[in-house]
Amino acid sequence: MTFATRFAPSPTGPLHLGHAYSALLAQDMAAANDGVFLLRIEDIDTARSRPHWEQQIYEDLAWLGIDWPQPVMRQSQRLPRYRAALDQLSTMGLTYPCRCNRRDIEAAAGAPQEGVPQFGPDGRIYPGTCRNRAMADAGAEDVIRLNMESAVRAARLRSFTETGETYGGQYPLDPERLITTVGDIILVRRGMGSAYHLSVVVDDADQQITHVVRGADLFEATQIHVLLQALLGLPTPLYHHHTLIRDDSGKRLAKRDDARAIAKYRAEGATPQDIRALVGLIEPSPAPSSG
Ligand code: GLU
C-alpha cells in the first residue's frame, strides 16, 4: 500500500512553528517512503474559520517548500459524508441527543472525587444526564453524543500502532479506560453538522491515509478515533505523534501565539531553512564568523 499522510490544519488562526513542524515532518516522511502528502482544511467550525486564514495556510506551506495534490479536501464541503457516518452509528443504537450546556454539565458532575478523572481528550467527561433521550427527539439545540458504554460493547476492539518517539508502541483499546477517562464524546456539535473526532476518522479513511502524523497533544484522542474506525468498519492507519514545539519558557504553542506565526518569521526575513532549524529538523547553520 502506498504511504499516504496528511496535514490537517483548521483555518482559525495563523500557522505557527508547531504546524510547520507537523507539515514538514509529514512531507519528509512521505518523501522518504515514496508516498503522498495530502492537505486537508478542517473548517467545519464555520463560526471560527476564516477564508484569510485558509489563504495564509496555502501561502505559508508553499513558502516552506511543501506541495500537495489538488483539489484540497475541505471539511465544510463534506457534511453528507459525516451525516452518513452518524446515521450508521445511530442505526446501531449508539447515539443520543444532548441539550446540556456547560453549566448543566458542571452541576450534574458534582464535586470532584479523588481518583475520578474530570477531563478527558474530549473535554469534561459527560455525566450522562441525557443518555436516555431518543434520536427521534433530536432538535437544532442539541449536540449528538456517542454512548460510550454501548459503543465499546458493540465494537470489535482493535489496537493501534504508534511510531512516534514519545509513545512508540502497540495500544489495544481498553473499554474500561474509554468509559471512565473519555466518556460520551460529542459526534456532532450544535449547528455544525459534525465534530472533530467523527470528521477526522471519515476523512482519513476517504483520503486513504496510511500514516497519521500530528502533534503529541492528540495522542490521547487516538483511542477515540480507533474506536470510531472499528464501529464504522474503517481501516486504522499507523499513528505518529511528534513532540510539541514549545516556546522559550517551555509552554506549548497555542493558535493565538502570534509571536511564533510563520508569517511573522517570513516578514522578518527568515528562510524556510531557518524554520527547519528552529523546529529541530536540521542543524542550525553556523553563524557567519566575523573575520
Ligand atoms: N485540525 C486539527 C488541528 O488543527 C488537527 C487534526 C489532526 O491532525 O488529526 O489541530
pLDDT tens-digit readout, 116-142: 889 999 999 999 999 999 999 999 999
Of the chain, the percentage scoring pLDDT greater than 70 comes to 97
Q: 95 and 228 share a domain?
A: yes
**Which three cell numbers mark 194?**
459534525
Distance CA 226, CA 156 (A): 11
- Ligand 1 pocket, Cβ-based, cut-off 6 angstroms: 8-10, 42, 200, 214, 218
Instruction: Average the pLDDT over 108-113 and give the result.
Output: 86
Q: 89 and 61 share a domain?
A: no
**Which three cell numbers mark 53?**
486564514
**Which three cell numbers mark 37?**
502528502
pLDDT single digits (tens) 97-109: 999 999 999 999 8
Q: Residue 243: exposed, middle, or buried by beta-carbon count in 10 A (0-12, 13-18, 19+)?
A: middle
281 belongs to a structural domain: yes
Q: Look at phi and psi of residue 65 and say left if phi exceeds 0, alpha if psi is from -120 to 50, else beta.
A: left
Which of 5, 16, 42 has the most ligand 1 atoms within 8 A of CB, as the residue to mutate?
Answer: 42
Overall residue count recorded for the chain in this entry: 291
Ligand 1 atom having least distance to the Cα of 12: 4
Q: 94 and 22 share a domain?
A: no
For 65, 108, 257, the CA distances from 35, given in Å and listed in that order, are 17, 49, 32
When pLDDT is cut at 50, 70 and 90, the band that residue 258 belongs to is confident
For 127, 177, 179, the CA distances from 114, given in Å and listed in that order, are 16, 17, 17
**Which three cell numbers mark 252?**
506549548
Q: 269 and 153 share a domain?
A: no
Residue 254 contacts residue 283 (beta carbons within 8 Å): no
Least confident among 7-16, 214-223, 261-270, 281-290: 281-290
**CATH number of the domain encompassing residue 68:** 3.40.50.620
Q: What's the domain range around 150?
A: 78-209+220-234
Residue 241 contacts residue 164 (beta carbons within 8 Å): yes
Spacing of C-alpha 134 from chain mean position:
28
Coil/strand/helix, residue 119: strand
Q: Whose CA is closest to atom 10 on ligand 1?
A: 9
At 159, which helix (H) or strand (E)? strand 159-162
Q: 9 and 65 share a domain?
A: yes
pLDDT at 283: 86
Q: Whose CA is closest to atom 3 on ligand 1?
A: 9
Distance CA 179, CA 276 (A): 40
Ligand 1 atom having least distance to the Cα of 200: 9
Q: 90 and 69 share a domain?
A: no
Ligand 1 geometric centre to CA of 197 (Å): 10
Ligand 1 geometric centre to CA of 156 (Å): 26
Give the total number of structural domains in the chain: 2
Distance CA 39, CA 69 (A): 8
Closest C-alpha to 260, from 243, 244, 237: 244
In this predicted structure, the answer to whether residue 253 has a pLDDT above a threshold of 70 is no
Report helix angle 222-232 to 196-206, nearest 10. 60
pLDDT at 122: 92
pTM for this predicted structure: 0.94
Q: 196 and 56 share a domain?
A: no
Residue 281 contacts residue 272 (beta carbons within 8 Å): no
Residue 143 contacts residue 188 (beta carbons within 8 Å): yes
Q: 1 and 14 share a domain?
A: yes
86 belongs to a structural domain: yes
pLDDT single digits (tens) 169-195: 999 999 999 999 999 999 999 989 999
Ligand 1 geometric centre to CA of 217 (Å): 10
Ligand 1 atom having least distance to the Cα of 215: 8
113 belongs to a structural domain: yes
Amino acid 159 reads S
pLDDT at 33: 97
**Tally of helices (H runs) and strands (E runs) in the chain:** 10, 12
Q: 117 and 230 share a domain?
A: yes
Ligand 1 atom having least distance to the Cα of 22: 8
**Which three cell numbers mark 282?**
536540521
Q: Residue 92: exposed, middle, or buried by beta-carbon count in 10 A (0-12, 13-18, 19+)?
A: middle
Q: 198 and 104 share a domain?
A: yes
250 belongs to a structural domain: no
